[in-house]
Amino acid sequence: MFDTLIENGTVVDGTGRPRYEADLAIGGGRIAAVGRLGGAEAARRIDATGLVIAPGFIDMHSHSDTTMLSDPGGESKAYQGVTTEVTGNCGSSPFPVAADPHLAEYQRSTWPFMKPDWTWTDLDGWAERLNSSGMSLNVAPQVGQGEIRKAVGLNQNRPPSTDEMREMRRLAAEAIEQGAFSVSTGLTIVPSSFASTDELVELVEAIAQFEGAFYVTHSRWRTDDHIDAAKEAVEIGRRAGVPVQYSHMAIVDPRVHGDGARMAAVFDRARAEGLDATYDMYPYIAAGSGIGQLLPEWSMEGDRPEVVRRLKDPDTRRRIARETVEGFFGGTPIPWESYIISDTYTSANSDLIGKTVAEAAAARGDDAFKTALDLMIEEGGEVPTTVFNRDEGDVRFFMGHEAAMFGSDGYAYSPTGPLANASGDHSATHLAGKPHPRNFGTYPRVLGRYVRELGILSLEAAVRKMTGLPAQRLNLSERGRVEQGLTADLTLFDPETVTDRATFDDPMQFPEGIPHVFVAGEAIVSDGAHTGATPGRVLRRGE
């Protein structure tokens, strides 16, 4: 007898092949059978008439490294049909931790969403903690190059010494040996951004010996051209001898919106020359960021109190202002009306949540740039924002490209849990207030808006970009496809009604049309309600 029998569904199997009608049986956490199984016995039966049976969605770019320690259900993603969160992106991961206790304390103090009892030092310890705590979703870790720099005390804008580079290479290799899938960079975020191309090549070379390991990058944007950022990613992969994953593909330079084909051509040429190069993206014209990412790198060096001290010094402040304006895409005016304050760390400024920096400045009777820097001081060194800096035409073009897959750049958490209800607490960065709707709506938005309404992708192509293609990049042989014998990570959705409800004004809204989600054969969403089950675990490279 099967554990669960899903009857009368339409299978979209994650390979891109045409859909077909079938039943699906689950037994022992696996897909036990696919076909006409109406006479079979099962402990539970689900009538999937009108529903698609798809592999569980794999979020190729998330930041849920520690969020499920506080919110184990991961509801913001579970209700989207996500069953695996790929973490460690943008150069940040909660490991490795420095051996020096002072450096270790600094690392822990800069990591968001973390309970005080952080005792691990490496991937193994972090994974043990997550697995023992229990979580609804799987987590596939990457190791952050920025965290590796912190672990050796390299928080300054300088190249590593010979000894520091040797240790960084050791830490990168150790993380990959323990199961990390890649090394990631966040090249607009210090200290990751302090690394030169040559430094990154030397570090990434240390993981080339491991089968399936790759390089993933949140690229630089202070280059002469957005094309340069893509070229640097390809160069690092080629020179280091590893595949490349480019994070949240987009053009954020307002001067060249609509130039998607030229940017994608960098990856087309690399692929034609034999480099395995792909990218992820999300279906929104706005990003989630902080005002600090606009400022020159040197001004953000060190911890938040150091940043505040610089912003308070009149001479340093004038230099920051001058270099920021000069460095914003050729000196074009900063569109402060596009920067929406999404959260504050202090209750004093909570009335500004949802307002643009321009509106905040007008209310104060001040210049917008002065207001932005003043807010950074008042908020302890950073201000979370939602930034409208993308072009809808580029979003559609990048989505349709053969190298594209999806990643939310968001978090797995509960809208009623501690992470969404800790206003004024640094641990709530981007999650309280008015966070980006991508946390709650990425996958249903693709299926509803871009597949059903606009026809940018076929249903089969969209599901492949959510499942089979990410599994291929991660070399997850047990997931990403509907196939007998594979792990039963499954998402059932109604292709006629699936849609996102999360908006920029009201972002913590669950989607519609995804009634059932399974992780390892256990229902985490059943008839549209979270079950509280925690079958998820940390996945390791090579599984």
Rounded distance, CA 387 to CA 219, Å? 17
**340 in a structural domain:** yes
**Are 380 and 404 in the same domain?**
no
pLDDT of amino acid 424? 43
**302 in a structural domain:** yes
**212 in a structural domain:** yes
Rounded distance, CA 89 to CA 183, Å? 9
Rounded distance, CA 505 to CA 455, Å? 26
Dihedral sign of CA atoms 407, 288, 436, 118 in order: positive
35 - beta bridge partners?
A: 23
**154 in a structural domain:** yes
273: number of Cβ within 10 Å: 10
**Are residues 140 and 480 in contact, defined by beta-carbon separation less than 8 angstroms?**
no
Q: Which long-range contacts (CB under 8 A, 24 or more apart) does 312-319 make?
A: 312/377, 317/373
**Are 127 and 245 in the same domain?**
yes
406 - beta bridge partners?
A: 281
Which residue, among 31, 36, 29, has the nearest Cα to 14 in the 3D structure?
A: 31
**465 in a structural domain:** no
**Are residues 96 and 147 in contact, defined by beta-carbon separation less than 8 angstroms?**
yes
pLDDT of amino acid 330? 83
pLDDT of amino acid 427? 45
Considering just the CA atoms, what is the radius of gyration of the chain in Å?
23
**459 in a structural domain:** no
**49 in a structural domain:** yes
**Are 445 and 321 in the same domain?**
no
Domain boundary among 435, 450, 465: 450
**Are residues 482 and 463 in contact, defined by beta-carbon separation less than 8 angstroms?**
no
**Are 185 and 274 in the same domain?**
yes
374: number of Cβ within 10 Å: 19
Which residue, among 180, 185, 247, 60, has the nearest Cα to 538 in the 3D structure?
A: 180
Full pLDDT tens readout for the chain, 543 residues: 999 999 999 999 999 999 999 999 999 999 999 999 988 999 999 999 999 999 999 999 999 999 999 999 999 999 999 999 999 999 999 999 999 998 898 888 778 776 667 889 999 999 999 999 999 999 999 999 999 999 999 999 999 999 999 999 999 999 999 999 999 999 999 999 999 999 999 999 999 999 999 999 999 975 557 899 999 999 999 999 999 999 999 999 999 999 999 999 999 999 999 999 999 999 999 999 999 999 999 999 888 889 999 999 999 999 999 999 888 888 889 999 999 999 888 888 999 999 999 999 999 999 999 999 999 999 999 999 999 999 999 999 999 999 999 999 999 999 998 888 754 444 445 577 899 999 999 999 999 999 999 999 999 999 999 999 999 999 999 999 999 999 999 999 999 999 999 999 999 999 999 999 999 999 999 999 999 999 999 999 988
Domain boundary among 368, 387, 406: 387
**Are 101 and 131 in the same domain?**
yes
**462 in a structural domain:** no
* CA within 13 Å, CB half, 279: 29
* CATH number, domain containing residue 216: 3.20.20.140
pLDDT of amino acid 474? 98
Pairing of strands 404-406, 277-281: parallel
pLDDT of amino acid 224? 56
**Are 238 and 335 in the same domain?**
no
**Are residues 387 and 338 in contact, defined by beta-carbon separation less than 8 angstroms?**
yes
**Are 200 and 85 in the same domain?**
yes
C-alpha distance across the termini of the chain, in Å = 28
Question: Length of the chain in residues, anyone?
Answer: 543
**Are residues 431 and 451 in contact, defined by beta-carbon separation less than 8 angstroms?**
no
The residue segments making up the domain with residue 220 are 58-285+390-450
Helix, strand, coil tally for the chain in percent (to 5): 35, 20, 45
**Are 77 and 188 in the same domain?**
yes
Residue 238's H or E segment, with its range, is helix 226-240
Rounded distance, CA 437 to CA 408, Å? 9
pLDDT of amino acid 428? 46
The one-character DSSP state at 113 is: T
Rounded distance, CA 168 to CA 224, Å? 29
pLDDT of amino acid 460? 98
Domain boundary among 342, 364, 387: 387
**Are 379 and 254 in the same domain?**
no
Mean pLDDT of the chain: 94
Overall number of domains in the chain: 3
**Are 190 and 226 in the same domain?**
yes
Rounded distance, CA 62 to CA 42, Å? 35
The H-assigned helical ranges of 301-367 are: 304-312, 314-327, 357-364
* CATH number, domain containing residue 521: 2.30.40.10
160 alpha carbon, distance to own chain's centre: 28
Residue 150's H or E segment, with its range, is helix 145-151
**Are residues 55 and 480 in contact, defined by beta-carbon separation less than 8 angstroms?**
yes
pLDDT of amino acid 426? 43
Q: Please, what's the largest Cα pairwise distance for the chain?
A: 79
**Are 188 and 243 in the same domain?**
yes
**Are 255 and 350 in the same domain?**
no
Rounded distance, CA 170 to CA 178, Å? 12
